[in-house]
Amino acid sequence: MSMTCVPSVVDNWILTAQCPSQLGTVDVVTRYLREHNCYVTEHQSFDDQASQQFFIRVEFRPLGGELDISRFEEDFAPRAREFGMSFELTPPERLTPVVIMVSRADHCLNDLLYRYRTGQLPITIKAVISNHPDLAPLAEWHGLEYHHLPITAETKPEQEAAVWRIIEQSGAELVVLARYMQVLSSEMCERLSGRAINIHHSLLPGFKGAKPYHQAFEKGVKLVGATAHYINDDLDEGPIISQGVEPVSHADSPEDLVARGRDIECLTLARAVSLHVQRRVFLNGKRTVVFQR
């Protein structure tokens, strides 16, 4: 059974930019928009004194009819150059093409598909990739391509090459690791830098290895959480986009902690995807600047 998905869209144009910190950074953006009869509906900016970098995100709508994206970028480019400013213009109703990677756990995939199906995320899902066949029916019920690509230590280079071909051929701009339980190679991490989001449990203290929530239960933890971040070559230590946390108590069983953890993982991952596709996340070295809604 295939589903007709009507994802939500952003009604306004989005202009994002960053440059070295200097006088006039806000003015060069807002003045240009005013001169071109564009009404600003949302504006957020941040000057990071530590990195000496400036970040800005503006939503706007043109008051004089249609906006010519090529003309806009061509006219704004000389002003941006004066500030060493890189910028991106995103038109309304643009859906970000996404590939989702998953293993056997279905909670994050199911949540993302629900939000996609009900129009909560401005994305178009191009494919689901998995190293197991288990979740094929779920993807196919949504009318999505499902690629089962098994992996072993010996076949990892070939498997990742196949994954990369799917990403390239689909035109995906974002890869979401929705509980994909494989460590990506350094080469793949480099290729996907800034465009792949991972989710994992986030417990204090940290518990590694099998059954982390059961380990947390044995230690009597009082908080469970999750972290969504961009991948890098340091396992689970990429630039953080979003985190979630929830209190638990002595009355919660290990199974309760697992259930709470799954819920938080779903919410945190969906929030991170939403922030990314709405151009609210900027990479700032090993950190991120995130303009919340």
Q: Which residues are catalytic?
A: 236
Which two tokens mark 149?
């690509």
Q: Give, in order, the Cα–Cα distances in Å from 281 to each of 6, 127, 152, 182.
A: 24, 24, 34, 25
Rg, the chain, Cα only = 21
Using the CB atoms, write b or e for 241-258: b if 16+ within 10 Å: bbebeeebeeebeeeebb
Count the Cβ atoms, other than its own, within 10 Å of residue 18: 23
Contacts 24+ apart (CB under 8 A), 77-81: 79/28, 79/32, 80/17, 80/19, 80/28
Residue 97 buriedness (CB in 10 A; 0-12 / 13-18 / 19+): middle
Q: How many helices (H) and strands (E) does the chain have?
A: 8, 13
